[in-house]
Amino acid sequence: MSDTQFAPLQNDRFLRALLRQPVDRTPMWMMRQAGRYLPEYRATRAKAGSFMDLCRNTELACEVTLQPLERYPLDAAILFSDILTIPDAMGLGLYFEEGEGPKFKKPVRTSAEIAALEVVNTAKDLSYVTDAVTTIRRELNGRVPLIGFSGSPWTLATYMIEGGSSRDFARAKEMLYNRPRDMHQLLTVLADSVIDYLNAQIRAGAQAVQIFDTWGGALSHSAYREFSLNYMARIVQGLIKEQDGRQVPVILFTKGGGQWLEAMADTGATALGLDWTTDIAQARARVGDRVALQGNMDPSILLANPERIREEVAAVLAGFGSGTGHIFNLGHGVTPKVDPAHAGAMFDAVVELSPQYHQ
């Protein structure tokens, strides 16, 4: 897929900040920016029938990806999909119970079940995702860059082993400690699948990618490095570095990963996502100019009044300080009960307050 098939990029503020190049203001986007807090999203999802039907419908996935750009002055769009598309393509039977989150009909728990897994062939098994990427990129018409994404191998493994969401990851951790060989075999298949998946998204038109390590923070210090970070490093090394004359930045986001920032920077990632438990000023002092930083306002602050939201935006911007290399975002996804006007207040504050840090 050549860039000549897409319109030239009019706003590259997000990509420039990821590469720590000068920008006029801090770029911004929001995790889960296309989601249940928007009434127009809820209407489109109802039209689709189910969450996965929405993901698999190219036109509707494109529609919901673009919805937040109609409301807010965002600097990036993110593909509308789910982190569990890879295990679903492995035949585990992904489904969603109302109010309970994702579940799998066929969890992976035995050595034989792990040995039977094969690396996903994105072109064959997940073409609906790459079709959506190409469609969204074309519809964006150069307005802002498009972010592709995947779950991290450890995060995907937890859902596959537990059969869904978990509070303590008992089955996954039991395998990790009692049967580390099985766990490494599973994570290797997943890492190679993620490499294929993200590279396919890049070839289809994604201009940056993010790896969501949602449950890395549930691991001990040594287990995180061995069972999560090592596999994300493998992915970073296996990704397409440049497409159509532009570098393709990679963002690593480990929720609860503030203690490992230096090690995360060692992977070769372009940027690190921070959750709200990490002080952004301290994070910048620790990693210096090695990586850009993305984040990191507590999503719950969007439940507060607009004046309080503006104060928190000012605090995050001041925490990072002057210079480039900051992408404003929440420390995790926006929650369903947020008033869309409150998200608007946050973005307005970034537009108003951030230029002073880029003089």
Contact (Cβ atoms closer than 8 angstroms) between residue 77 and residue 140: yes
Q: Which pLDDT score, from 0 to 100, does residue 41 have?
A: 97
How far is the C-alpha of 346 from the C-alpha of 69, rounded, in Å?
14
Tokens of 260: 């490992």
**Is 328 in a helix, a strand, or coil?**
strand
Annotated binding site: 32-36, 82, 159, 214, 332
Domains of the chain listed by start with CATH number: 3-293 (3.20.20.210)
Report yes or no: 9 and 240 within 8 Å, Cβ to Cβ: no
pTM of the model: 0.97
What tens-digit pLDDT sequence spans the chain (359 residues)?
444 489 999 999 999 999 999 999 999 999 999 999 999 999 999 999 999 999 999 999 999 999 999 999 999 999 999 999 999 999 999 998 777 789 999 999 999 999 999 999 999 999 999 999 999 999 999 999 999 999 999 999 999 999 999 999 999 999 999 999 999 999 999 999 999 999 999 999 999 999 999 999 999 999 999 999 999 999 999 999 999 999 999 999 999 999 999 999 999 999 999 999 999 999 999 999 999 999 999 999 999 999 999 999 999 999 999 999 999 999 999 999 999 999 999 999 999 999 999 99
**179 assigned to active site:** no
- Residue 355: the pLDDT is 98
Q: What is the per-residue pLDDT for 150?
A: 98
Helix (H, G, I), strand (E, B) or coil at 58: helix
- Candidates 13, 25, 45, 203; catalytic one: 45
Distance of CA 86 to the CA centre of its chain: 15
Q: Are 19 and 292 in contact (CB under 8 A)?
A: yes
User: Residue 3 has what pLDDT?
Assistant: 44
Is 82 annotated in the active site?
Answer: yes
Is 159 a residue of the active site?
yes
| Residue 105 burial by Cβ neighbours in a 10 Å radius (0-12, 13-18, 19+) | exposed
- Binding positions for substrate: 32-36, 82, 159, 214, 332
**Sign of the alpha-carbon torsion through 96, 101, 104, 105:** negative
Of 16, 25, 32, 137, catalytic: 32
Residue 345 and residue 306 in contact, taking contact as beta carbons nearer than 8 Å: yes
**C-alpha dist (Å) from residue 218 to 166, 185, 189:** 11, 20, 21
Shortest CA distance to 61 belongs to which of 157, 126, 121? 126
The candidate with the shortest Cα–Cα distance to 210, out of 39, 41, 37, 18, is 18
CA 239 to chain centre: 16
- Look at residue 5 in the predicted model and tell me its pLDDT: 86
- The length of the chain is 359
pLDDT given at position 1: 43
- List the one residue out of 313, 230, 323 whose CA is nearest residue 276: 313
Q: If you search the block for the tokens 């009692």, which residue do you land on? A: 178
Under DSSP, the state recorded for 3 is G
| Closest to 207 measured CA to CA, from 77, 86, 300 | 77
Q: What backbone phi and psi angles, to 5 degrees, belong to 200?
A: -65, -40
Catalytic residue among 37, 41, 72, 159: 159
Strands (E), 174-306: 208-213, 242-243, 246-247, 250-254, 271-273, 292-297
CA distance 317 to 40: 30
